[in-house]
Structure 1
Protein backbone atom coordinates (compact mmCIF):
# COMPACT_ATOMS: atom_id res chain seq x y z
CA UNK A 1 0.00 0.00 0.00
CA UNK A 2 1.40 3.35 -1.02
CA UNK A 3 -0.10 6.20 0.99
CA UNK A 4 0.40 9.57 -0.67
CA UNK A 5 0.57 12.49 1.77
CA UNK A 6 0.07 15.96 0.27
CA UNK A 7 3.23 18.08 0.36
CA UNK A 8 1.55 20.85 2.38
CA UNK A 9 0.58 18.35 5.07
CA UNK A 10 4.10 16.91 5.09
CA UNK A 11 5.61 20.39 5.42
CA UNK A 12 3.35 21.74 8.17
CA UNK A 13 3.41 18.47 10.13
CA UNK A 14 7.09 19.14 10.86
CA UNK A 15 6.11 21.94 13.25
CA UNK A 16 3.69 19.94 15.42
CA UNK A 17 6.46 18.18 17.36
CA UNK A 18 8.43 21.34 18.24
CA UNK A 19 5.29 23.23 19.29
CA UNK A 20 4.11 20.32 21.46
CA UNK A 21 7.54 19.95 23.05
CA UNK A 22 7.73 23.66 23.94
CA UNK A 23 4.31 23.36 25.59
CA UNK A 24 5.53 20.27 27.45
CA UNK A 25 8.66 22.12 28.59
CA UNK A 26 6.40 24.75 30.15
CA UNK A 27 4.23 22.05 31.74
CA UNK A 28 7.38 20.40 33.09
CA UNK A 29 8.31 23.61 34.88
CA UNK A 30 4.78 23.77 36.33
CA UNK A 31 5.05 20.10 37.38
CA UNK A 32 8.26 20.98 39.21
CA UNK A 33 6.52 23.86 40.97
CA UNK A 34 3.51 21.75 41.98
CA UNK A 35 5.81 18.93 43.14
CA UNK A 36 7.79 21.33 45.32
CA UNK A 37 4.54 22.68 46.76
CA UNK A 38 3.23 19.17 47.44
CA UNK A 39 6.50 18.32 49.22
CA UNK A 40 6.16 21.55 51.26
CA UNK A 41 2.61 20.51 52.15
CA UNK A 42 3.79 17.15 53.44
CA UNK A 43 6.56 18.65 55.57
CA UNK A 44 4.95 21.92 56.71
CA UNK A 45 3.77 22.84 60.18
CA UNK A 46 0.08 22.40 60.97
CA UNK A 47 -1.12 25.90 59.99
CA UNK A 48 0.88 26.14 56.76
CA UNK A 49 -0.11 22.59 55.86
CA UNK A 50 -3.79 23.39 56.30
CA UNK A 51 -3.43 26.37 53.94
CA UNK A 52 -1.46 24.39 51.34
CA UNK A 53 -3.82 21.39 51.40
CA UNK A 54 -6.62 23.63 50.15
CA UNK A 55 -4.61 24.34 46.99
CA UNK A 56 -4.49 20.59 46.22
CA UNK A 57 -0.96 20.53 44.80
CA UNK A 58 -0.86 16.74 45.10
CA UNK A 59 -3.66 16.29 42.57
CA UNK A 60 -2.26 19.01 40.29
CA UNK A 61 1.20 17.44 40.33
CA UNK A 62 -0.17 13.96 39.64
CA UNK A 63 -2.43 15.15 36.80
CA UNK A 64 0.26 17.26 35.12
CA UNK A 65 2.75 14.39 35.47
CA UNK A 66 0.30 11.96 33.88
CA UNK A 67 -0.37 14.38 31.03
CA UNK A 68 3.38 14.90 30.54
CA UNK A 69 4.00 11.15 30.38
CA UNK A 70 1.28 10.56 27.78
CA UNK A 71 2.11 13.57 25.61
CA UNK A 72 5.86 13.02 25.76
CA UNK A 73 5.51 9.44 24.55
CA UNK A 74 3.10 10.50 21.78
CA UNK A 75 5.26 13.52 20.89
CA UNK A 76 8.38 11.37 20.64
CA UNK A 77 6.67 8.84 18.40
CA UNK A 78 5.07 11.64 16.37
CA UNK A 79 8.37 13.48 15.90
CA UNK A 80 10.04 10.30 14.71
CA UNK A 81 7.14 9.46 12.39
CA UNK A 82 7.06 12.91 10.80
CA UNK A 83 10.85 12.86 10.33
CA UNK A 84 10.61 9.47 8.65
CA UNK A 85 7.67 10.48 6.45
CA UNK A 86 9.43 13.64 5.29
CA UNK A 87 12.94 12.25 4.87
CA UNK A 88 12.60 8.51 4.41
CA UNK A 89 14.88 7.98 7.40
CA UNK A 90 15.57 9.03 10.97
CA UNK A 91 18.59 11.20 11.64
CA UNK A 92 20.68 9.31 14.17
CA UNK A 93 22.17 11.94 16.42
CA UNK A 94 22.10 13.54 19.86
CA UNK A 95 18.60 15.03 19.51
CA UNK A 96 17.06 11.63 18.74
CA UNK A 97 19.06 9.76 21.38
CA UNK A 98 18.38 12.30 24.13
CA UNK A 99 14.68 12.40 23.19
CA UNK A 100 14.40 8.63 23.46
CA UNK A 101 16.31 8.69 26.75
CA UNK A 102 13.94 11.34 28.11
CA UNK A 103 10.96 9.16 27.21
CA UNK A 104 12.54 6.32 29.18
CA UNK A 105 13.32 8.60 32.15
CA UNK A 106 9.77 9.90 32.42
CA UNK A 107 8.41 6.35 32.26
CA UNK A 108 10.74 5.22 35.06
CA UNK A 109 9.84 8.30 37.09
CA UNK A 110 6.13 7.54 36.75
CA UNK A 111 6.74 3.89 37.65
CA UNK A 112 8.11 5.01 41.02
CA UNK A 113 4.79 6.54 42.10
CA UNK A 114 3.34 3.39 43.75
CA UNK A 115 6.48 3.09 45.88
CA UNK A 116 6.35 6.78 46.78
CA UNK A 117 2.71 6.42 47.84
CA UNK A 118 3.88 3.76 50.29
CA UNK A 119 6.39 6.20 51.80
CA UNK A 120 9.55 4.91 50.14
CA UNK A 121 12.01 7.81 50.44
CA UNK A 122 14.55 6.25 48.06
CA UNK A 123 11.86 6.14 45.35
CA UNK A 124 10.92 9.75 46.14
CA UNK A 125 14.51 11.01 45.83
CA UNK A 126 15.03 8.95 42.67
CA UNK A 127 11.82 10.46 41.22
CA UNK A 128 13.07 13.96 42.01
CA UNK A 129 16.54 13.28 40.58
CA UNK A 130 15.14 11.78 37.38
CA UNK A 131 12.77 14.70 36.88
CA UNK A 132 15.41 17.38 37.48
CA UNK A 133 17.63 15.54 34.99
CA UNK A 134 14.67 15.38 32.61
CA UNK A 135 14.12 19.14 32.90
CA UNK A 136 17.79 19.80 32.11
CA UNK A 137 17.69 17.49 29.09
CA UNK A 138 14.40 19.03 28.00
CA UNK A 139 15.97 22.49 28.02
CA UNK A 140 18.89 21.22 25.93
CA UNK A 141 16.43 19.52 23.55
CA UNK A 142 14.57 22.81 23.09
CA UNK A 143 17.79 24.47 21.89
CA UNK A 144 18.79 21.66 19.53
CA UNK A 145 15.21 21.35 18.32
CA UNK A 146 15.15 25.00 17.32
CA UNK A 147 18.36 24.42 15.35
CA UNK A 148 16.53 21.66 13.46
CA UNK A 149 13.53 23.95 12.85
CA UNK A 150 15.91 26.60 11.48
CA UNK A 151 17.38 24.04 9.06
CA UNK A 152 13.88 23.16 7.88
CA UNK A 153 12.99 26.83 7.39
CA UNK A 154 16.25 27.53 5.55
CA UNK A 155 15.24 24.99 2.88
CA UNK A 156 12.19 27.06 1.90
Structure 2
Protein backbone atom coordinates (compact mmCIF):
# COMPACT_ATOMS: atom_id res chain seq x y z
CA UNK A 1 0.00 0.00 0.00
CA UNK A 2 2.83 2.41 0.79
CA UNK A 3 4.41 1.77 -2.61
CA UNK A 4 1.09 2.74 -4.29
CA UNK A 5 1.70 6.39 -3.42
CA UNK A 6 3.38 8.18 -6.33
CA UNK A 7 6.95 9.33 -5.62
CA UNK A 8 6.08 12.95 -6.37
CA UNK A 9 3.33 12.87 -3.74
CA UNK A 10 5.61 11.16 -1.22
CA UNK A 11 8.27 13.81 -1.84
CA UNK A 12 5.81 16.70 -1.47
CA UNK A 13 4.30 15.25 1.73
CA UNK A 14 7.66 15.71 3.44
CA UNK A 15 7.17 19.49 3.44
CA UNK A 16 3.66 19.57 4.92
CA UNK A 17 4.85 18.87 8.48
CA UNK A 18 7.57 21.56 8.50
CA UNK A 19 5.23 24.16 6.99
CA UNK A 20 2.51 23.30 9.50
CA UNK A 21 4.95 23.47 12.38
CA UNK A 22 6.19 26.94 11.35
CA UNK A 23 2.58 28.16 11.30
CA UNK A 24 2.06 26.49 14.66
CA UNK A 25 5.20 28.16 16.03
CA UNK A 26 3.78 31.57 15.06
CA UNK A 27 0.46 30.71 16.70
CA UNK A 28 2.37 29.58 19.80
CA UNK A 29 3.99 33.02 20.02
CA UNK A 30 0.53 34.61 19.74
CA UNK A 31 -0.78 32.31 22.49
CA UNK A 32 2.14 33.38 24.71
CA UNK A 33 1.25 37.02 24.04
CA UNK A 34 -2.38 36.33 24.97
CA UNK A 35 -1.29 34.52 28.13
CA UNK A 36 0.80 37.51 29.16
CA UNK A 37 -2.22 39.74 28.55
CA UNK A 38 -4.34 37.48 30.76
CA UNK A 39 -1.76 37.99 33.52
CA UNK A 40 -1.89 41.74 32.91
CA UNK A 41 -5.67 41.71 33.33
CA UNK A 42 -5.35 39.63 36.48
CA UNK A 43 -2.91 42.12 38.02
CA UNK A 44 -4.62 45.33 36.84
CA UNK A 45 -6.92 47.47 38.99
CA UNK A 46 -9.73 49.93 38.43
CA UNK A 47 -10.26 51.52 35.01
CA UNK A 48 -7.22 49.82 33.51
CA UNK A 49 -8.72 46.42 34.39
CA UNK A 50 -12.10 47.39 32.88
CA UNK A 51 -10.36 48.37 29.64
CA UNK A 52 -8.23 45.22 29.49
CA UNK A 53 -11.22 42.95 30.15
CA UNK A 54 -12.76 44.19 26.90
CA UNK A 55 -9.92 42.45 25.06
CA UNK A 56 -11.31 39.05 26.14
CA UNK A 57 -7.74 37.76 26.31
CA UNK A 58 -8.67 34.83 28.56
CA UNK A 59 -11.20 33.48 26.06
CA UNK A 60 -8.86 34.00 23.10
CA UNK A 61 -5.98 32.36 24.98
CA UNK A 62 -8.12 29.33 25.83
CA UNK A 63 -9.36 29.00 22.23
CA UNK A 64 -5.89 29.37 20.69
CA UNK A 65 -4.50 26.94 23.28
CA UNK A 66 -7.13 24.37 22.32
CA UNK A 67 -6.25 24.83 18.65
CA UNK A 68 -2.55 24.45 19.46
CA UNK A 69 -3.17 21.23 21.35
CA UNK A 70 -5.17 19.68 18.51
CA UNK A 71 -2.84 20.78 15.70
CA UNK A 72 0.35 19.89 17.59
CA UNK A 73 -0.86 16.36 18.30
CA UNK A 74 -2.06 15.92 14.70
CA UNK A 75 1.14 17.47 13.33
CA UNK A 76 3.33 15.21 15.46
CA UNK A 77 1.49 12.11 14.33
CA UNK A 78 1.48 13.33 10.73
CA UNK A 79 5.21 14.05 10.77
CA UNK A 80 5.95 10.56 12.03
CA UNK A 81 3.53 9.02 9.52
CA UNK A 82 5.11 10.80 6.55
CA UNK A 83 8.60 9.84 7.72
CA UNK A 84 7.50 6.22 7.99
CA UNK A 85 5.74 6.26 4.61
CA UNK A 86 8.79 7.70 2.88
CA UNK A 87 11.50 5.72 4.67
CA UNK A 88 9.86 2.61 6.08
CA UNK A 89 11.11 3.61 9.54
CA UNK A 90 11.32 6.49 12.00
CA UNK A 91 14.67 8.15 12.60
CA UNK A 92 15.29 7.82 16.31
CA UNK A 93 17.02 11.01 17.37
CA UNK A 94 16.69 14.32 19.21
CA UNK A 95 14.13 15.84 16.83
CA UNK A 96 11.74 12.92 17.28
CA UNK A 97 12.25 12.68 21.04
CA UNK A 98 11.86 16.40 21.66
CA UNK A 99 8.77 16.47 19.42
CA UNK A 100 7.18 13.66 21.42
CA UNK A 101 8.14 15.43 24.65
CA UNK A 102 6.53 18.64 23.41
CA UNK A 103 3.34 16.77 22.60
CA UNK A 104 3.26 15.46 26.16
CA UNK A 105 4.02 18.90 27.62
CA UNK A 106 1.22 20.63 25.74
CA UNK A 107 -1.25 17.91 26.76
CA UNK A 108 -0.22 18.19 30.40
CA UNK A 109 -0.36 21.99 30.24
CA UNK A 110 -3.87 21.93 28.76
CA UNK A 111 -5.02 19.47 31.40
CA UNK A 112 -4.39 22.14 34.04
CA UNK A 113 -7.20 24.34 32.68
CA UNK A 114 -9.92 23.08 35.06
CA UNK A 115 -7.68 23.74 38.05
CA UNK A 116 -6.79 27.23 36.81
CA UNK A 117 -10.48 28.00 36.29
CA UNK A 118 -11.04 27.15 39.94
CA UNK A 119 -8.27 29.58 40.94
CA UNK A 120 -5.46 27.14 41.74
CA UNK A 121 -2.32 29.24 41.61
CA UNK A 122 -0.04 26.16 41.56
CA UNK A 123 -1.75 25.12 38.30
CA UNK A 124 -1.29 28.58 36.80
CA UNK A 125 2.41 28.67 37.68
CA UNK A 126 2.92 25.12 36.37
CA UNK A 127 1.03 26.02 33.17
CA UNK A 128 3.27 29.05 32.59
CA UNK A 129 6.48 27.12 33.26
CA UNK A 130 5.42 24.27 30.97
CA UNK A 131 4.43 26.64 28.18
CA UNK A 132 7.65 28.64 28.27
CA UNK A 133 9.56 25.34 28.27
CA UNK A 134 7.45 24.33 25.28
CA UNK A 135 8.28 27.60 23.53
CA UNK A 136 12.01 27.05 24.09
CA UNK A 137 11.82 23.48 22.81
CA UNK A 138 9.75 24.64 19.84
CA UNK A 139 12.46 27.15 18.94
CA UNK A 140 15.05 24.37 19.02
CA UNK A 141 12.76 22.09 16.97
CA UNK A 142 12.36 24.80 14.33
CA UNK A 143 16.13 25.01 13.92
CA UNK A 144 16.65 21.24 13.73
CA UNK A 145 13.63 20.94 11.44
CA UNK A 146 15.20 23.36 8.97
CA UNK A 147 18.35 21.23 9.04
CA UNK A 148 16.27 18.13 8.25
CA UNK A 149 14.52 19.92 5.36
CA UNK A 150 17.94 20.97 4.01
CA UNK A 151 19.02 17.30 4.03
CA UNK A 152 15.84 16.32 2.14
CA UNK A 153 16.47 19.01 -0.47
CA UNK A 154 20.09 18.03 -1.05
Q: What TM-score comes out, normalization by structure 1 length?
A: 0.97
> What residue in structure 2 maps to residue 89 of structure 1?
89
Matches within 5 A, 1:113-132: 113-132=113-132
CA distance in 1, matches of 2:33, 2:46: 21
- Please, what is the CA RMSD of the aligned residues? 0.6
Query: Cα distance, 1:56 vs. partner?
Result: 0.7
Deviation at 1:43, TM superposition (A): 1.5
What residue number does 1:70 align with? Answer: 70
Matching residue of 1:104: 104
**1:90 positional shift:** 0.1
Q: How does 1:2-151 map to 2 (within 5 A)?
A: 2-3=1-2, 4-151=4-151
5+ residue gaps, structure 2, are none
Distance between the aligned counterparts of 2:103 and 2:79, measured in 1? Answer: 12
Residues of 1 paired with 2:8 and 2:63: CA distance?
A: 35
Equivalents in 2 of 1:8, 1:72: separation in Å? 26
> Following TM superposition, where does structure 1 have runs of at least 4 consecutive aligned residues deviating by more than 2 angstroms?
none
TM-score by length of 2: 0.98
Q: Structure 1: which 5+ runs fail to align?
A: none
Q: 1: CA distance between counterparts of 2:125 and 2:86?
A: 41
Instruction: Say how many residue pairs are matched.
Output: 153
1:45-93: CA deviation from partner (whole Å, max 9, x where unpaired): 1111111111110111011100000000000000000000000000000
